[in-house]
Chain A
Amino acid sequence: MILKRTLLLCLGLTMLPMLGGCQLKDIDKRYFVVSAGFDYSDNPAAPYRVSLRLALPSSKIEEGGAMSVVQTADAASIAEAVRHLKSTVDKELEFGHCREFILGRKLIEKDGIDNSLQWLSRRRDIQSVSNVMVGDPDAYSVVSLKPKSERYPGNSLFLSFGNEGTEAANTVTTYLFDLYRRVYETGLDPVLPVANVFRDAYKIDRAAVLDKDKTRLFLDSDETLLFNMTAFGVDNTILVLPDKPLNIVLAATHTTSKINLKGGEDPVAIVNIRIEGFLEQSPPHLLEKDWGGLERKMGKHFSEEAERMLYKIRDAGVDPYGFGLHYLADHHNAKGRWEKWKRLYPEIRFEVRANVSIQGSGLIR
């Protein structure tokens, strides 16, 4: 009797999760969205244009065998546009594997990031580890590109970020959770990679720096590299010292960077960066002549370049490094502290202390 009751209880408990309401739908009745782009159309009634790239899976896996379709809809909001799109496809849209969200350049310049971010962070089936980027000139062009090298639809764009596939030094990787944090954190501003289409491939080598809502500044490729090294300590970068007849190039295998804030009324932001690597390109026997001197020269050159980039970011009035957060963290957070920082920041001075260490010439003698 007791056993029967226990069994019934167990059965009842097991049935409880059904109330969660997730329905049984087989994997082949779902359309996997692999990338989504949000654009700004010029129609005031339906300002949001959502383009989704849907994977058409095949059991054969081969180079260039990735099939996908791109669907577009305009609506008054992103959520509505997605609902419209649902009626144009024959299967359930599944965002569980959508890890690339492209925001059109026009959208974040005119309308800002907020609306898209709201939608992205509210939906439960969108992963927080999605990559967010800016599409230049618009998101649709990035979403609709189908590179020939793809084995899986959407894989190519996905592999461009992080260290999963390529480890490109000029690619800034921003995850959705990080973007969300940077939007809502005082004293830290979002930065997004900029993707554009370039000869049947994605070119992601610039970065857009935003204030809390709209873009303020676009960094070019070299500046993005410097930013990546100083802000994130990205490994596998290069460091160039202009020289005649050939530039000296250091392949940096290891970079660590640390930010310090000194001074009360006249703050100095100190970026300590240590770069290790070996020479990938240099005139013969240069290293043996003056090893330490070369290291110092390279460090000095890097510091100048990085400081120029830092002042540029400062003058745009944004703070992707989080200097403000540093300031708030090591000063007693009394009332008016943040206002004071806002007054101080446009006058802040930067000092980049680069410690370059050359491991060797890369040659085997």
Chain B
Amino acid sequence: MLEKVKDILGTPSDFTAETMDNGYAKMQICFFPGMCDMDQLKDAIVVPFSYRFDPDEFRRMLHTSIGFMKDVPEDQWVDFLLKGYIILEYEGEVFVFRAIRRMQTQPDQTQVEASLQGPQSAFTENLDLNLTLVRNLYNVPELTVENFEPQNQSKSKIALLYDRTKRNETTLEEVRKRLRNLDEGLLLSAGQLAKQISQAKYRLFPITQITERPDRLSIHLNKGKLAVLMDGSRFAILLPVHFFDFMYAMDDHYEPSWMSRFLIGLRYVSMMLTLLLPALYISIVSYNPEVFRVQLAFTIDGSRAAVPYPSFIEVLLMLFMIEALIEASLRLPRSVGSTAATVGGLILGQAAQQAGLVSSIMIIVTSVVAISNFVIPNSTFSYFIRILKYAFVLVAVFAGLVGVVVGIFMLVVYLCNMRSFGEPYFALFQSKAGKASDNIK
């Protein structure tokens, strides 16, 4: 057994392969010490084999204990080893023992989707623990978990969760099919997996939602939808989703109804602002100044008097600055990030206006665009909105206010045409399970 394994693995220095001899019997054992839980190894194998050895008992233990798997095909030995299993050969029989080192034993704190009053625990990078979290919240016998083991380079386990009585069969079949046919190559995170199963590369909106909150997942399952969990990722993928799901924060379920309604309204207003404001600025300043009140028109006129370039160059300049700033503060280590924001936001904005590069109104527009973008509760969605903004800017440069209106119309048409795993994406009301059409895109 040892030779076969070594043939495939070579002899990595973090690999242990030995023959143990306690004077009565010999046992070959091999494992990756770094990936195994040494306590389990000691309790289950080393102690019975060395200190309290009784051949009959030991044999019985190997054959009956659920920890030991027998008759594992030879070609899978290495896969098991690489996942942190221990392989031993005793009396000519090969056993695989599961002793994976647990990195996480505690649920994580929420980091991306903060909630004031909801549960604070989030998914971890351990699939089993994640399933526990879901089961704790969605404690019904109908909750079904299907395991998938994709044959790619990562071989991370993937679990598909749904409620047996509420799920939609067509959607389920489709998702199963896509999970079986994943790309070869590395699969490192839920986001990557979501990209692979939603298939179309150039959609303008996400059709899967990524969440770190077990409570969001439970609500989602309760609506008869599906969820995909992946080992090694803190995030679950929810599907199918609707446009309006992205504008929900979990707090909306936990706070007084009036407050949550108001906040949802606020988010939609913010979304429209961050999407349209730069475009509106261009079209109003360069095409239709009569839209402003006359006082505002004069103020803008006066503040733009020093600006040498046409309005769209001004807008693109400021948008570039703000995007660069957001990107910088996201990627920098936390200790430096705040400095970047201060330098960029305060000093640059003020100075750009005084230097006559941009008008003072543009500074306000830029800030509103940036702040409104952060109001959108889902980061993936806000990325898409961030990109779409430029499409509107482009239209505004060439066609002014009319173009922006036409653009909005086309966006609505596009959204109405979109499907998320067969369900209409722009549906205002959630369709009941089993109602979705079969035309999966």
Contact = CB atoms under 8 A, between A and B. Distances in A.
A14 B286 contact: no
B248 interface: no
B303 interface: yes
Nearest to B394: A14
Interface string B260-300: 00000000000000000000000001111110001101111
Interface stretch (A16-24, A111-119, A285-293): A16-24
Given A14-B398, A20-B399, A26 B311 contact: yes
B399 A59 contact: no
Contacts of B303: 59
A153 B406 contact: no
Given A24-B287, A94-B289, A96-B290, A152 B298 contact: yes
Contacts of A17: 398-400, 402-403, 406
Given A32-B298, A32-B301, A59-B299, A22 B202 contact: no
B360 A59 contact: yes
A18 B289 contact: no
- Looking at A28, A58, A125, the one whose CB has the most chain B CB atoms below 10 A away is A28
Interface string B378-421: 00000000000000000101111011001100100000000000
Contact of A155 (B295, B299, B397, B400): B295
A152 B302 CA distance: 11
B188 to A, nearest CB: 27
B403 to A, nearest CB: 5
A25 B200 CA distance: 40
Interface in B408-439: 410
A22 to B, nearest CB: 6
B55 interface: no
B242 interface: no
B304 interface: yes
Interface in A298-315: none
B129 interface: no
Contacts of B398: 14-15, 17-18
A57 B287 contact: no
A61 to B, nearest CB: 7
A154 B294 contact: yes
Given A27-B297, A57-B298, A14 B290 contact: no
A158 B299 CA distance: 17
A251 to B, nearest CB: 31
B182 interface: no
Nearest to B203: A3
Task: Give the size category of B's interface with A.
Answer: 20 to 34
Contacts of B336: none
A24 B286 contact: yes
A27 B410 CA distance: 28
B304 A27 contact: yes
A26 B400 CA distance: 11
Contacts of A26: 285-286, 304, 310-311
A8 interface: no
Contacts of B299: 57, 59, 61
Interface in B306-332: 307, 310-311
Contacts of A14: 395, 398-399, 403, 406-407, 410
Interface string B71-84: 00000000000000
Interface residues of A, number: 36
Contacts of A16: 399, 406
B25 interface: no
Contacts of A28: 301, 304-305, 307
A13 B406 contact: yes
B289 A97 contact: yes
Nearest to A58: B302
A10 interface: yes
Interface string A85-117: 000000000101101000000000000000000
Nearest to B417: A6
Contacts of A32: 289, 294, 297-298, 301
Contacts of A20: 399, 402
A27 B290 contact: no
Contacts of A57: 298-299, 301-302, 305
Contacts of A22: 287, 400, 402
A34 interface: yes
A94 B291 CA distance: 12
A127 interface: yes
Contacts of A181: none
A55 B296 CA distance: 13
Contact of B294 (A30, A61, A158): A158
A127 B291 CA distance: 11
A151 B296 CA distance: 12
B291 to A, nearest CB: 8
Given A17-B403, A32-B301, A57-B305, A27 B295 contact: no
Interface in B196-211: 200, 202
Contact of A13 (B202, B311, B410): B410
A18 B399 CA distance: 5
Contacts of B402: 17, 20, 22
Contacts of A18: 398-399, 403
B189 to A, nearest CB: 26
A314 B204 CA distance: 68
B298 A24 contact: no
A123 interface: no
B423 to A, nearest CB: 20
A125 B288 CA distance: 10
A158 to B, nearest CB: 7
5 contacts: A14-B399, A26-B304, A27-B289, A55-B298, A99-B294
Given A26-B310, A57-B302, 18 more contacts: A14-B399, A15-B398, A17-B399, A17-B400, A17-B402, A22-B402, A26-B285, A27-B286, A27-B311, A28-B304, A32-B289, A32-B301, A94-B289, A97-B289, A125-B290, A153-B298, A154-B294, A155-B295
**Which 8 residue pairs spanning A and B have beta carbons closest together?**
A96-B290, A59-B302, A17-B399, A57-B301, A57-B302, A57-B298, A17-B402, A28-B304
